[in-house]
Amino acid sequence: MPTRRELVAMAAFGAAGANPAPAAAKTGQPAAFSVVSPDSRLKVEIRVAGEQPSWRIAYDGKTVLLPSGLGLWLAGKQRLLGHGALDVISATTAKIAGSWAPLHGQSSRYDQSSNEFTLTLFDRGAKIRFAIIVRVLNGAAAVRYQILDAPGTKTVRLAGERTLFQFPAAARVYASRDEGDVHVSSQAAMAPLEHPDLTASSDKGRLADLPLTVEVGNGLYTVVAESDRLHYPRCMAAPLSAQAIVSHLMTYPGRATGWGGQDDTPPQPEFDIEIGQKTPWRVVMVADSAKGLIERHHVVPTLATPNQLGDVSWIKAGHMFRIMKPYSTEASLRAVDFAEARRIKYVLFDAHWYGDGTDASEPTYPIAALDLQKVIDYAKAKGIGVVLYIDRVAVTRALEDMCRLYQKWGVAGVKLGFMWEGRQVDVDFIYKVVKAFGDHGMVVNLHDNLRPAGLETTLPNYLTLEGVKGNEQFPPARHNVTLAYTRSIVGPIDYTICYAEERNQTTNAHQLALAVTCYSPLSMLYWYDKPEKYASKPWPELAWFDAVPTTWDETRAIAGEIGEYVIIARRSGDAWYLGAITNEMERRVEIDLAFLGQGNWSATRYMDGKLSRPANRTPVVIQTDAVTAATQLKLQLNAAGGQAIRFTRT
């Protein structure tokens, strides 16, 4: 554990730190403290004055957050913790150094170097001692709360949280909710469209899911996210005023449709936290370019609680292929053969593989047409794992029995559908389910209205999750581009890539590049396809999918602008993989290959061919070029197009 030391006195924002004189602390006079990132570029000030403590953030001297209130709502008392009579007890710092190695990630090592500041306060009215904890990394700041002591109780009941994010007036916010499109607005007008099917059971009002991406307006860009969400409701965001966004803790689960909507999901407007429990981090990542945000991908997993599973050497990343209905033993065996030929690690049985094939049946035995054990054993002999779909209702009834049964069968993992996330009870249930399957040697993929908050660090068998408008819905190219600057930055994204599909609104080369721009250790390919589709003719471009990894040693954001285009390069071992995608505008871009380093390289390029309409009919042209780090490589991207490049040493 890092050592702690008392801060030295200070008065101005930007100094090293402060601890007001004891007399000032006991009389409730204003006090100010600050902490900076290890590289000194990002500075956070905490002020205790007026009705609510506040924080503000600057990066390279430019404002990121204006003074923004901090606090927790006490249940019953209907007031903010710390409102009014507040004493400063102590102010301490900790230095965290070095890096750590995630089991799977967008880089093989994540920088954790940071300075942490803990301000201990006493609410004289409620007689509660609590702490505001701030951690400042290079390019990110995070704040959380901790209840330290309360009279005569081991828990404190809360009615919400009031963490503010007050950006400058010119800020533009990129936000979405449920599994919808990204909406661009001012802070005051933030109101992403509700999905009529997915929002019926959830919290109402002008709410957005995290993460938010914010173009601050002074050359800076930020992502607002959460991390380490354990035993606590999921956080959304709401406009509070013309120039402020406030945290909103969910009181209903997201997408609980099919079970009576809100009538079957009682709200949880109040919840208990234990004395000593730390709330989730509220995170603000900062960069001086839009593409710079992509390289903040390490922040959310770094702030999360470390691995709680023990030995995780058995957990493997890879691609997954869905076995399509109608299910049969022979068709399933052919799907396994296809997976082996295409170097795919997992095959998935989706809904209705079990019981009588209806939603109400039990996932404890397969339908009559399917010899599941034969398929599992056949796949295992080829080094391929079988993943089974089940829904929330099934695991609610008999979680431990199902874990033991599937472990006995030799199942490699589960895809859980219709999972509820929102209330504290929902968050606790997700943790319980993911850990139970991990304890029984299975990986997990969660679907429906969920958002990442670093749980893949805490439970590394949690390889991926949905919580996005995925490729199965055939979104436009702009949506795919925007995801690289929003949802993809904070955690894995099961995007269900649909290749050479007539409903796609993009070129095929664009679809190839998604394997780089969308990060997921468990990545679905060929979502709507059967093996027979690819037996009809040669598909030389599929060599890209065969080779591209799903977890990385290094990630570089090369170029791009939110909603316009994005170019990302990722390294695995000695090879680099580059994905470039554009919106509905044709684009020519010249890129620097300095990231390659020394030596000579061969670039195998999967490019847009002759412009076709619709875009999905555009052929893929394969070309191999000799390049070095000094090469300026020219990319030509069709409208809604892209390019995928594999660089190998020669």
- The string of pLDDT tens digits covering residues 124-144 is 989 999 999 999 999 999 999
| H or E element that contains 231 | none
Please state whether 455 falls in left (phi above 0), alpha (psi between -120 and 50) or beta.
alpha
Determine, yes or no, domain membership for 312.
no
- pLDDT at residue 299 greater than cutoff 70: yes
Give the residue among 209, 142, 641 at the shortest CA–CA distance from 422: 209
Q: What is the CATH number of the domain that holds 141?
A: 2.70.98.10
Q: Domain check: are 297 and 328 in the same one?
A: no
Determine, yes or no, domain membership for 408.
yes
Token representation of residue 261: 């909507």
pLDDT at 198: 65
- pLDDT at residue 475 greater than cutoff 80: yes
Give the C-alpha separation, 250 to 236, whole Å. Answer: 7
CA angle 498, 499, 502 (to 5 degrees): 85
Q: Domain check: are 485 and 354 in the same one?
A: yes
Contact, 252 vs 201, CB < 8 A?
A: yes
Write the pLDDT tens digit of every residue in 592-612.
Answer: 999 999 999 999 999 999 989
Please say which residue of 552, 568, 593 terminates a domain.
Answer: 552
Q: Domain check: are 416 and 542 in the same one?
A: yes
Q: Domain check: are 273 and 390 in the same one?
A: no
Does residue 326 have a cis bond before it (omega within 30 degrees)? yes
Average pLDDT over residues 170-199: 88
Q: Domain check: are 446 and 509 in the same one?
A: yes
Q: Domain check: are 129 and 254 in the same one?
A: yes
Give the residue among 366, 289, 269, 296 at the shortest CA–CA distance from 325: 366
Instruction: Supply φ then ψ for residue 335, to 5 degrees.
Output: -65, -40
Write the pLDDT tens digit of every residue in 565-574.
Answer: 999 999 999 9
Between the CA of residue 339 and those of 271, 332, 381, 516, 549, what are the distances in Å?
A: 46, 11, 13, 20, 15
Determine, yes or no, domain membership for 132.
yes
Q: What is the CATH number of the domain that holds 539?
A: 3.20.20.70
Q: Domain check: are 229 and 354 in the same one?
A: no
- pLDDT at residue 361 greater than cutoff 90: no
Contact, 88 vs 31, CB < 8 A?
A: yes
Average pLDDT over residues 374-394: 96
Determine, yes or no, domain membership for 310.
no
Read off the amino acid at residue 353.
W
Give the residue among 535, 196, 632 at the shortest CA–CA distance from 341: 535
Contact, 498 vs 472, CB < 8 A?
A: yes
**Residue 605 belongs to domain spanning:** 559-649
Kindly report the length of the chain.
Answer: 650
Q: Domain check: are 536 and 628 in the same one?
A: no
Determine, yes or no, domain membership for 158.
yes
Please say which residue of 552, 577, 612 terminates a domain.
Answer: 552
- pLDDT at residue 406 greater than cutoff 90: yes
Q: Domain check: are 415 and 268 in the same one?
A: no
pLDDT mean across residues, the chain: 92
Q: Domain check: are 541 and 449 in the same one?
A: yes
Between the CA of residue 454 and those of 168, 283, 301, what are the distances in Å?
A: 28, 12, 4
Please say which residue of 256, 279, 303 terminates a domain.
Answer: 303
Q: Domain check: are 204 and 100 in the same one?
A: yes
Number of domains composing the chain: 3
pLDDT at 258: 54
More confident residue, 184 or 201: 184
Contact, 271 vs 157, CB < 8 A?
A: yes
DSSP 151: T
Between the CA of residue 224 and those of 62, 305, 421, what are the distances in Å?
A: 17, 19, 19
Give the residue among 115, 73, 80, 84 at the shortest CA–CA distance from 97: 115
Token representation of residue 421: 């996330």
Determine, yes or no, domain membership for 308.
no
Instruction: Supply φ then ψ for residue 472, to 5 degrees.
Output: -65, -20
Q: Domain check: are 335 and 276 in the same one?
A: no
Q: What is the CATH number of the domain that holds 632?
A: 2.60.40.1180
pTM of the model: 0.94
